[in-house]
């Protein structure tokens, strides 16, 4: 009976791991052979995707509700903000108008999946690019005016901001009693087995 229980438990754990592996950034893809503006920017997004994957892996409902202070954002609100940042960056590299999901329309799992997919699409586009200047971020203001920002602002704006917030997610989950899972190496972008 004990060996059957062990087998079933192992199967459930492996099924969970395999389903998670289907999401981008369980590990960072292999590095490009050459250094170009596009491959470097792509790799930066890959590093962000890997950090986001592991910062959000295994979050519980308790973790999502955690707030460092009464006036601070909850973990869930921070995840939502990172989704917005991923949409801003992807929209700029795809050359399309930003479109955001309705507030409260996505579950945590749906937001996590969409954010990881947005980072992957962004990275794939940047990796093939020889000219980052064509990726202009356009933000429509409430008064109807459109503000345009060059790719430089993507680096110090949404991309750097998302990295910053991944660090907050890690801090929040530790404070809620759920530290990062063991295994990921942020230096190599691989998971130690």
Please check the confidence at residue 99 and state whether its pLDDT lies above 60: yes
Interhelix angle 75-94/108-127, rounded to 10 degrees, is 30
**pTM across the whole model:** 0.86
Instruction: Give the model confidence (pLDDT) of 49-94 as tens digits.
Output: 999 999 999 999 999 999 999 999 999 999 999 999 999 999 999 9
Give the chain's domains with CATH numbers.
36-191 (1.20.120.450)
Per-residue pLDDT band at 21 (split at 50, 70, 90): low
């Amino acid at each position: 009976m004990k060996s059957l229980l062990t087998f079933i438990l192992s199967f459930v754990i492996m099924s969970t791991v395999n389903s998670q592996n289907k999401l981008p950034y369980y590990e960072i893809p292999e590095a490009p052979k050459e250094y170009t503006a596009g491959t470097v920017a792509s790799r930066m997004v890959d590093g962000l995707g890997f950090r986001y994957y592991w910062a959000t892996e295994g979050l519980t409902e308790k973790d999502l509700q955690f707030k460092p202070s009464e006036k601070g954002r909850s973990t869930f609100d921070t995840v939502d903000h990172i989704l917005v940042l991923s949409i801003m960056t992807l929209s700029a590299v795809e050359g399309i108008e930003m479109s955001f999901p309705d507030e409260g329309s996505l579950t945590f799992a749906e937001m996590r999946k969409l954010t990881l997919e947005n980072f992957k699409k962004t990275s794939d586009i940047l990796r093939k690019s020889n000219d980052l200047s064509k990726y202009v971020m356009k933000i429509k203001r409430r008064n109807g005016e459109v503000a345009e920002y060059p790719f430089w602002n993507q680096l110090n704006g949404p991309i750097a901001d998302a990295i910053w917030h991944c660090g907050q997610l890690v801090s929040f989950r530790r404070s809620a009693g759920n530290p990062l899972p063991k295994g990921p190496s942020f230096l190599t972008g691989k998971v130690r087995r």
